[in-house]
Structure 1
Amino acid sequence: MSDTNNKPVQEVRDGGLRIAIFRNEPKQEGDRPRYSGKLTRSYRDAQGDWHDTEYLSGTEFLRAARLMEQAYDAELAQRSADKNEAPEPTA
Structure 2
Amino acid sequence: MNGNKPSEKFSAGAISVAVWENTRKDESGEESVSYSVKLERSYKDEKGDWQRTQTLRLNDLPKAQLLLGKAFESVVMSDKDTSL
TM class by shorter chain equals: 0.7 to 0.9
Residue 66 (str. 1) matches residue 66 (str. 2): yes
Q: Conserved in 1, the CA contact under 8 Å of 2:12 and 2:67?
A: yes
- Structure 2 residues not aligned, in runs of 5+: none
User: What is the SS of the residue equivalent to 2:46?
Assistant: coil
Q: What is the aligned-residue RMSD (CA, Å)?
A: 1.4
Partners of 2:48 and 2:8 lie apart in 1 by 27
Q: TM-score, normalised by structure 2?
A: 0.83
TM-score by length of 1: 0.77
Q: Flag the structure with larger Rg.
A: 1
- Structure 1 outlier segments of 4+, above 6 Å: none
Q: Whose helix fraction is larger, Structure 1's or Structure 2's? A: 1
- The alignment of Structure 1 onto Structure 2 pairs a total of residues equal to 79
Structure 1: gaps (5+ residues) = 84-91
Give identity over the alignment, percent: 29
- Which whole-Å deviations, capped at 9, do the CAs of 1:37-91 have from their partners, x for residues lacking one? 100011011211000000000111111111110111112233x2x24xxxxxxxx
* Structure-2 separation of matches of 1:30 and 1:44: 45
